[in-house]
Each structure stands twice: as C-alpha cells, then as structure tokens.
Amino acid sequence: MNVKRIVRPLSWLAVATAATVLIAACGGSSGGGNQSVTFKGTKKVGYSAPLTGQSALYGHAVSQSLKLAADDINAKGGVNGYRIEMDIQDDGTQVAQAVTNTKAMILQDNVVALMGSVTSAQCLAESPIAKQNKIITIDATCNSWQLTTQPDIVNPYWVSIVPNTYMEGTAAGRLAAKLGVSKIFIVSPKYLFGISETNAFVAALKKANSSVQIVNSQSTWYVPFPTNPRWDSTINQIQALKPDLVYSNIFAADQINFIKQALAVDPQFFTKYPMTTLVSVDELTTLGSQYPEGMHAYMRAPFFALQDNNARLTDFINRYKARYNGEYPSDWAVMDYDALTIWAQAANAAKSFDADQVVKQISGHSFDSLRGYKITIRSSELQANVGETTGTTTTSSSYPFPILKDITNLKGDDLMMPLQMVNEIKGNQCDAKAGDPTTANFALCPSWTAAS
C-alpha cells in the first residue's frame, strides 16, 4: 500500500482544508432508529485537527470518529437537551494555526468543550487559552505528562484519557530492557512529546538495565519536527553504529518516510536493526505489507488487541467501517470516541456545560470505554488509568495489514506515575534548576532516585 490515506480523497481534502468543518445539522430533531429526538438547540464542541501536514493521518481518523460519536450522542438525546455539533478546523499540524483555531472556536463559535489536538506542542499552546476561558478539554492524543502535572502548565480543565509520556516511555523502557540488548540507538522528534517520552524511556531502561549503552550522542537523538522529509543521516548513523536495537517515537508521516527510505537503502534494514517504536493502526494500514515484521511495538489502543469479549468495540468497528468506506479505526479513533462520550456523560450528569461542574463529574469518576475496561480519572492530576499494548509486528491472515503477536495489554494502574511523584513534581522537588518548574524532570524526584 502507498501513503494514500494522507491525501485521500481530493473531495474530502477540499472540505478538510476549509476553515471550518461542521458536523451535524443545526437545531431541529434527530432520527435515532424509528424515534425522533427534539432538541432545545445546538452546542458546539471544538477540535483543532491536523487534516493536512505531518499528522494528517491522525487528524483524519480522529475527525471521523468524532463525527460518529456526535451522531451517537445525539441519537440518545444529546447533552442537556442540546444537539452536539462538532466544529473541526484544520491546523496543518502547526502550533500557530492550532492557537488561532482554538481562539476562534472559543471566542467566535462559542464551543462548550474542546477535544485535545494531536501534538503536545499544540496542546501546550492551547491549554492556557482554554484555561483562561474555562473551557474543558478532553485530551486523547497529545500525551506529555507535563500537561497535567508540571505546576506552571497545569490546567484544572484539562483531562487526559491517553497514556502519558511517563506511562508510555517507562513501558517502552521496560520492554527494551527485557529484550536483553546491550547497544541502543535513539531517534525522536524534537519537541515536548519526543523529549518527554525519550527521557522516560531512558530513565526506565537504565533503572532496569544499568549496563545498556546508548550508542549515539544525545545531540543526535532528536530530529526536526513537524516534518523531517529525509532520513539519510539517521539511516547512515544506524548502519555505522550497528546497534542491537533502535528506539523511536517518530510517528505518522515521519515514521512512514523513515521506514520506506531505510528499506530502499537495505531491504533487510529492520532485520539487522530491529526497533522498539510507537506504532498505531494508521501506520500499519498505510504501509500494509511494507511495514516490517519483528518490530517491538507499543500501541495505545489497537482494536485488534482489545476486541476479545468486547461487544461494544466490535460494534464500533463494524459501524466505523460501514460509514467510512471499509477503513479500520485507528488507535486515535478509538480513544477520541471515548473522549467525546465521556465528556457527554459527565456534562449530562452535571446538568450543565459549566467547566467546573463538568470536571466535578469527571474527577475521581469511572467511565466505560471502547477499550473494554472502565477508565478512572485520578483526581490529583486528571489523568486516566488507561493501558498500553505491546507486541511484535507480524503478518495477519485476518487483516490486510500487519498486527501484533505476543501481545501484552498492560494495565494503566501499573503504568501510572506514582502519586508521591506527582506531588513532588507539583511541589517543585524535581526541578533541575531549583524553583524553575520548566526544568521539572521526574527522574530527579526524590521518590525516583531513592528507588534507583
């Protein structure tokens, strides 16, 4: 398969690149089966989406899922008697445009809630705007732990239902340590997410196996983001240093370009230099049979690993495929469907759209999810105890793309940042520079160093 999902179809992109995509009709009634629901009016929920640019794959999946979720919510009566309309605006995977979109959605479109953007850089810029205007944000994609824990960034209206970079990075570090390798090469995107997750990976790896060697200097760990079109220097470095394992959290178009260019240099590249890497269904479906076997993957919500005894997810998959020309839902589609439905449930319970009241119905509460388990949002930092899936890529007779074998679904409770550490970070006990929260590093926390 080629990278057609980034550009398909042209008629869809013409709509996607317009300033605003509005989903659902305004006012009136909604047909749910044989029933008709009458609404008081319409309330908008905003999403600044990378419908173009580096993360277009992800924005495409999330936007489709949010449309489906909004329709499902409306079919059940909406929220507080109002129809929910998604207000989706393309940000091109650019921070400045995400900021512009967020301001427009809040100040002009009067959204009552936001869904978090794809990249942590965008979310970091959006959060203070949402905080200032008291607009709740449910975040299911951008995942730097700093967004919910670092004291100068914390937003009381920001809820994370995605495994954060501490959870994901430490899971990847433990996975790599179990492989028994001695030499590791690191390549990550140079922005908050990549740096945060890589630091967590290295800290967890070193704790589990202090003798492991990072073969490339730290100055070469990070590559430009949001776009790194050529990977020649990274590929050459890997071939020269001959690591046992390559650790990476590059994603979307960057991961696709890297894999294709590495295979063009050497069809056995990933046999010689296997990877521990962040993967989603989007990369697997885009590359199809080109995606290398034997990659040690960690994934956030792959449907094929969560479907056993999960009738709700199976129903979602079938309806998603029927609506979207046979596409399989990516991890991002699964998680953002959960995000919108959790917000709707909480707002209905609050009988209000007021952010303070809705947060009260989220903090400390549990919610059903497509992932097959209940999600609980911890009150201390509004982080959900969501899990991570690990395994090794392999061909599949059931799907037209690789899946995972040797699957382990890690429990979120086992990955969460310990509450003592959360409190230490919030209390400025983990700052590289005393009193400067922008230098917070969980690996400097007393509880982490004491356990090392």
Q: What pLDDT shows up at residue 35?
A: 59
SS3 of the chain: helix, strand, coil, percent, to 5: 45, 20, 35
CB 137 within 8 A of CB 130: yes
- Is 90 exceeded by the pLDDT of residue 65? yes
Q: Which of 119, 172, 139 is nearest to 383 (CA)?
A: 139
| CA dist., res. 316 & res. 298, Å (int) | 22
Instruction: State pLDDT tens for residues 277-336.
Output: 999 999 999 999 999 999 999 999 999 999 999 999 999 999 999 999 999 999 999 999
| CA dist., res. 89 & res. 63, Å (int) | 10
| CA dist., res. 281 & res. 284, Å (int) | 5
- Using only C-alpha atoms, the chain has a radius of gyration, in whole angstroms, of 21
Instruction: State pLDDT tens for residues 370-403.
Output: 999 999 999 999 999 999 999 999 999 999 999 9
Q: What pLDDT shows up at residue 21?
A: 39
CB 35 within 8 A of CB 72: no
DSSP track, 122-169: HHHHHHHHHHHTT-EEEESS---THHHHSTTT--TTEEE-S--HHHHH
Q: What pLDDT shows up at residue 403?
A: 98
CB 78 within 8 A of CB 37: yes
Lowest average pLDDT, out of 5-14, 64-73, 77-86, 416-425, goes to: 5-14
Instruction: State pLDDT tens for residues 113-144.
Output: 999 999 999 999 999 999 999 999 999 999 99
Q: What pLDDT shows up at residue 226?
A: 85
Q: What pLDDT shows up at residue 36?
A: 75
At how many degrees (to 10) do helices 165-178 and 192-208 cross?
Answer: 40
pLDDT band at 451 (very low <50, low <70, confident <90, very high): confident
Q: What pLDDT shows up at residue 16?
A: 40
Domains of the chain in start order, with CATH, are: 4-163+307-384 (3.40.50.2300), 166-299+388-415 (3.40.50.2300), 419-451 (no CATH)
Q: Which residue has the higher pLDDT, 226 or 266?
A: 266
Mean pLDDT of the residues in the chain: 92
Quote the percentage of the chain above a pLDDT of 70: 92
- Is 70 exceeded by the pLDDT of residue 3? no
- Is 70 exceeded by the pLDDT of residue 18? no
Instruction: State pLDDT tens for residues 208-264.
Output: 999 999 999 999 999 999 877 899 999 999 999 999 999 999 999 999 999 999 999
Q: What pLDDT shows up at residue 11?
A: 37
- Is 80 exceeded by the pLDDT of residue 19? no
Three-state SS at 88: strand
